[in-house]
A and B are shown apart, each in its own frame.
Chain A
Amino acid sequence: MKFTASIILTALLSFVACLYLPWWSIAVVSFLIPLIIIQKPYMAFITGFVALLLLWGGLAWWISTANDHLLAHKIAVLVIKADSPLLLIGLTALIGGLVAAFSALSGSLLRRLF
């Protein structure tokens, strides 16, 4: 339950935060959630990772599909030297996931100090 709630809350608040704030607000959100919903550090890491993996992966996939992957084809060749929109979407999801995972881990570890 905590697991699902954390994921949903992290993803949702990250989305809202990014409407107004820079991209790294996902790190702030992911850091704050384990302070509110207490989780073991490794669980916090996983929930943060999954939340942003889903959010960024989902958003990128949704945007790119509406675009017929026109831009993703070009950027993928430019950045990862492979003509694969899916890989670029995957990389996006991974980056978001990792940033959130480490932030959530930090949050959870901070919580432990008290």
Chain B
Amino acid sequence: MVIVLGTNTLLPLPLGSFLSPQHGIWQNAEPVKQHFNARLHFSELKGKSTVYLDDRLVPHIVADNDEDACFLQGYLHARFRLWQMEFQTYAAAGRISEIVGDKALDFDKGRRRLGMVYAAENMLKEIEVNPLSKAQVDSYTAGVNAYITSLPESRLPVEYKLLGYKPEKWSNLKTALFVKQMAQTLSGFSDDLPLTKAKAFFGDEALRILFPQVSDSLDPVIPKGTLFPPASVTPVAPALTDSVYINNITGNLQEIEKPNPNNGSNNWAVSGARTRSGAPILCNDPHLDLSFPSIWYEMQVTTPTMNAYGVSFPGAPGVIIGFNDSIAFGFTNSERDVMDYYAIQFKDKTKTQYRFGSGWENSRLRIETIKVKGRPIVYDTIAYTVFGPVIYDESFPSATEPGAALALRWKAHDPSNELLTWYYLNRANNYEDYKNALQYFTNPAHNVVFASKAGDIAIWQQGVFPALWNRQGLYVMPGKDSSYMWQEFIPADENPHILNPERGFVSSANQRPADSTYPYFIPGYYDLYRGIAINRELYAIDDVTADDMMKLQNDNYNVFAETARPLLLKYVNDSSLNENERKYLDIVSGWSLYNNINERGATIFKLWYDNLEKQVWDDEFEKAGVTGLRPSEKTLTEALLRDTAFKYIDNINTPEQETITDVITNAYKQAAKAADSLSAVNQLTWGANKNTSIYHLLGAAMMPFARTGLPVGGGSHIINAMQHNHGPSWRMVIELTKETDAYVIYPGGQSGNPGSLYYDSFVDKWAAGEYYKAWFMKRGEQEGDRLVWKMEFGNE
């Protein structure tokens, strides 16, 4: 009986150990009146430090040296978020099979094939040759491990008990793996494979129209009319690109799951000249998959060299988005494409040599060892070429349907040390310091917004980008011809940037950074409408206050619908509609264009447009055999606005020639049908239809740990970018007055423990669009209304 209840060989859970009040999950049921006071001693610490915990469980670390502050960050991350930070690095390294068995094997192989560990190892070397970052990461790792060592089994986070495993020691490599996981989330997106397949059907000329580089209504990050210096680097295109370019890739390759294409953000800064207080205001809200525990952990760190507040990543030291005594900083994804594919011709099945130039080049074979719970170890041999790892070949994704070998060239593989960016940014006092910090930021590239108490506002699109010849890398390139390789990188000074623009604000929302006058070819996966919405509002508001900015972050106005709805309403043939169908038309035409939760028009509009896209694209793309890729909503809208006889309107599978009226009316009828069924289950209002939810990282298996049905509006292309479970993962509005007024919130809570009051304590306020005023502790200030608990740390 003890054996049955102590293991999970017969039961899904070892019920004895799981339910034992002194060992199992009851130990995770944190008393709601828990106090967090503590006096702790660790021999690794150099001096004395104190962590002041406020009423929201936000730690304010006050340390007398930088290393101890990193130790404490590691300790606190582990204390409150251990399972999450370890699980995410297991995921990055392709080790989930160790925990859950062979159902994660394909996922794990995918991570290895992407070269995630290779990328992290390259980063770790850079971190460890720099004494500053080495000291930071060493101390951070020591802090995490100090907590793990002191943790009795009874206090292991609930997830370990549910899944039946134990934490291993943290390492510097795990921090690098975490950073690379973010790199994959934010710069691991590529459509090269489906686009190559599409090219065989449509041809490059057509794809220039279907996937245009610059949208008609683009409002770029750097205002139109800004002069860019001519390119100092001129990449040389190979002769005869078109004929040599790979025209097809065999088979229907099941690609490794791509990051969510909606990963993005808003940020902006308004100059003091336009604010009521006269101080600059900086705002940022990064849009990511929302999860429990949250990807963010809020904190303040004060040492003799810094005093910064904001959110950190459990897994790495430093304040990632936030502010300090003198400046504030925020990030939005650049969405630039830094991932290209090369077709590789191996000499034989050993994969040891591949065709390169006129001869054969040796590849480096890396044997990946994947441990699988309850199964024998699985090995996967990955060939590394001059470009990078061969991601797909005859044994992956499927040995039964062998495809062409493709090597991956990805900027995230190159050695870099982004930790230094945050090291310097957290300590920056002015624009020069900020610029200096940015030089270490190579990938994933971001629009880094800046404001200072001195009154400067700026934005740089920062990262290291290849200087590409026109249309380089949009399709799979030949791997045997060195003239297709990335040549030089764009000098950092030539990255799009602006300081104190005349319009009195800077902003970015994942749109193309510059208009077509920017002298480099910059493909990417850009948004369009959020940027337009933000800039329109920032132009319009005078006498800006922090309150205005909070309202703006929660703005549900839909510029995409504003653009597309007139087209739909103009061309729908309402005489062909029956009484029932027509009633939805009135709802759409009467809709306020705000994606508020009670609006039905927002739902019907979306159904209508989604169906229109199907009507226009599916016939051609299905015939081309292209799955998972369609032109964007912005492209279709702009094409129809330009030309109502747009070639792709016609359904190539029917003998007659469809018109814009036909497709819009057909799409409407489909939408009306869907609306009927949604209406029957009371899911026609935008809020009910979207069902805003935050899932636990383990997803559907842990539904009791999730929050669903949150009353939040917004959506895709909208400033309040809240979709079903993807959206503003942190909102901050920082007014750089003398005292610094910071308003912050994130959808989660400081504790990762589902048994804690602080697990989801911010969620309802976040859903209501409200904020907390952050307690930015001043140096020397050791008391305050907000101070609730104190953890004292020393080495004896």
A binding-site residues for B, Cβ under 8 Å: 15, 18-19, 22-24, 26-27, 55-56, 59-60, 63-64, 66-68, 70-75, 77-79, 88, 91-92, 95-96, 98-99, 102-103
Q: A23-B16, A74-B705 are in contact. List 16 more A-B contacts (CB 8 A).
A: A18-B20, A22-B23, A23-B6, A23-B22, A59-B21, A63-B31, A66-B31, A66-B32, A67-B29, A70-B755, A71-B26, A72-B29, A75-B158, A88-B19, A95-B5, A95-B19
Whether A66 touches B704, Cβ cut-off 8 Å, given contacts A22-B23, A23-B17, A92-B19, is no
Question: In the assembly, what is the distance between CA of A19 and CA of B27, in Å?
Answer: 12
- DSSP class of A's interface residues: helix, strand, loop or mixed? helix
Q: 18 A-B contacts, Cβ less than 8 Å apart?
A: A22-B6, A23-B16, A59-B21, A63-B29, A66-B33, A67-B32, A67-B755, A71-B25, A71-B29, A74-B705, A78-B162, A78-B702, A91-B15, A92-B20, A92-B21, A95-B16, A99-B16, A102-B1
Chain B residues with CB below 8 A from A66, complex form: 29, 31-33
User: Does B255 sit at the interface, judged by CB under 8 A?
Assistant: no
Interface-centre pick from B19, B21, B30, B754 (highest chain A CB count, 10 A) = B21
On whether the beta carbons of A23 and B29 are closer than 8 Å, the reply is no
On whether the beta carbons of A60 and B26 are closer than 8 Å, the reply is yes
On whether the beta carbons of B755 and A71 are closer than 8 Å, the reply is yes
**A81 to chain B: closest CB distance in Å?**
10
Question: In the assembly, what is the distance between CA of A88 and CA of B13, in Å?
Answer: 14
On whether the beta carbons of B1 and A98 are closer than 8 Å, the reply is yes
On whether the beta carbons of B25 and A75 are closer than 8 Å, the reply is yes
Question: In the assembly, what is the distance between CA of A93 and CA of B394, in Å?
Answer: 55
Chain A residues with CB below 8 A from B162, complex form: 78
**A107 to chain B: closest CB distance in Å?**
14
Question: In the assembly, what is the distance between CA of A71 and CA of B760, in Å?
Answer: 12
Chain B residues with CB below 8 A from A27, complex form: 1-2
B695-708 contact mask (Cβ, 8 Å, vs A): 1 or 0 = 00000001111000
Whether A71 touches B754, Cβ cut-off 8 Å, given contacts A60-B21, A95-B5, is yes
Which of chain B's residues 738-784 have a Cβ closer than 8 Å to chain A?
A: 754-757, 759
User: Does B303 sit at the interface, judged by CB under 8 A?
Assistant: no
Which 4 A/B pairs are nearest by Cβ-Cβ distance? Answer: A71-B755, A59-B21, A23-B20, A67-B29
Whether A63 touches B32, Cβ cut-off 8 Å, given contacts A79-B13, A95-B16, is no
Chain B residues with CB below 8 A from A103, complex form: 2
User: Does B248 sit at the interface, judged by CB under 8 A?
Assistant: no
Question: In the assembly, what is the distance between CA of A66 and CA of B755, in Å?
Answer: 11
On whether the beta carbons of A75 and B22 are closer than 8 Å, the reply is no
Cross-interface CB contact of B26 among A22, A64, A68, A78, cutoff 8 Å: A64
Number of interface residues of B (CB under 8 A): 34
Write the chain B residue with the least CB distance to A62. B21
User: Does B24 sit at the interface, judged by CB under 8 A?
Assistant: yes
Cross-interface CB contact of A99 among B5, B30, B31, B158, cutoff 8 Å: B5
Question: In the assembly, what is the distance between CA of A24 and CA of B301, in Å?
Answer: 44
Interface-centre pick from A27, A60, A70, A96 (highest chain B CB count, 10 A) = A70
**A99 to chain B: closest CB distance in Å?**
6
Write the chain A residue with the least CB distance to B16. A23
Whether A95 touches B15, Cβ cut-off 8 Å, given contacts A59-B22, A66-B32, A71-B755, is yes
Write the chain A residue with the least CB distance to B22. A18
Chain B residues with CB below 8 A from A22, complex form: 6, 17, 23
Whether A67 touches B31, Cβ cut-off 8 Å, given contacts A23-B22, A75-B704, is yes
Question: In the assembly, what is the distance between CA of A64 and CA of B24, in Å?
Answer: 13
Interface-centre pick from B20, B703, B757 (highest chain A CB count, 10 A) = B20
**A98 to chain B: closest CB distance in Å?**
7
Write the chain B residue with the least CB distance to A85. B29
Question: In the assembly, what is the distance between CA of A23 and CA of B153, in Å?
Answer: 11
Write the chain A residue with the least CB distance to B706. A74
**A88 to chain B: closest CB distance in Å?**
8
Write the chain A residue with the least CB distance to B701. A78
On whether the beta carbons of A18 and B23 are closer than 8 Å, the reply is yes
Question: In the assembly, what is the distance between CA of A91 and CA of B20, in Å?
Answer: 11
Write the chain B residue with the least CB distance to A69. B29
Question: In the assembly, what is the distance between CA of A96 and CA of B16, in Å?
Answer: 7
B24-60 contact mask (Cβ, 8 Å, vs A): 1 or 0 = 1111111111000000000000000000000000000
Cross-interface CB contact of B30 among A56, A67, A91, A98, cutoff 8 Å: A67
Chain A residues with CB below 8 A from B25, complex form: 71, 75
**A23 to chain B: closest CB distance in Å?**
4
Chain A residues with CB below 8 A from B26, complex form: 59-60, 63-64, 71, 92
Cross-interface CB contact of B19 among A71, A91, A102, cutoff 8 Å: A91
Question: In the assembly, what is the distance between CA of A72 and CA of B29, in Å?
Answer: 8
Interface-centre pick from A77, A78, A88 (highest chain B CB count, 10 A) = A78
Cross-interface CB contact of A70 among B5, B24, B29, cutoff 8 Å: B29
Question: In the assembly, what is the distance between CA of A72 and CA of B24, in Å?
Answer: 12
Chain A residues with CB below 8 A from B21, complex form: 55-56, 59-60, 63, 92
**B715 to chain A: closest CB distance in Å?**
29
**A49 to chain B: closest CB distance in Å?**
13
On whether the beta carbons of A71 and B16 are closer than 8 Å, the reply is no
Question: In the assembly, what is the distance between CA of A55 and CA of B26, in Å?
Answer: 13
Question: In the assembly, what is the distance between CA of A79 and CA of B15, in Å?
Answer: 10
Chain B residues with CB below 8 A from A98, complex form: 1
Write the chain B residue with the least CB distance to A61. B21
Question: In the assembly, what is the distance between CA of A2 and CA of B793, in Å?
Answer: 51
Chain B residues with CB below 8 A from A68, complex form: 32, 757
Chain B residues with CB below 8 A from A75, complex form: 25, 158, 704
B702-718 contact mask (Cβ, 8 Å, vs A): 1 or 0 = 11110000000000000
Chain B residues with CB below 8 A from A92, complex form: 19-21, 26
Whether A56 touches B20, Cβ cut-off 8 Å, given contacts A64-B26, A71-B755, A99-B5, is yes
Write the chain B residue with the least CB distance to A57. B21
**B162 to chain A: closest CB distance in Å?**
8
Question: In the assembly, what is the distance between CA of A63 and CA of B34, in Å?
Answer: 12
On whether the beta carbons of B29 and A64 are closer than 8 Å, the reply is yes
Question: In the assembly, what is the distance between CA of A43 and CA of B235, in Å?
Answer: 89
Question: In the assembly, what is the distance between CA of A63 and CA of B20, in Å?
Answer: 12
Chain B residues with CB below 8 A from A19, complex form: 22
Whether A24 touches B6, Cβ cut-off 8 Å, given contacts A70-B755, A75-B704, A92-B19, is yes
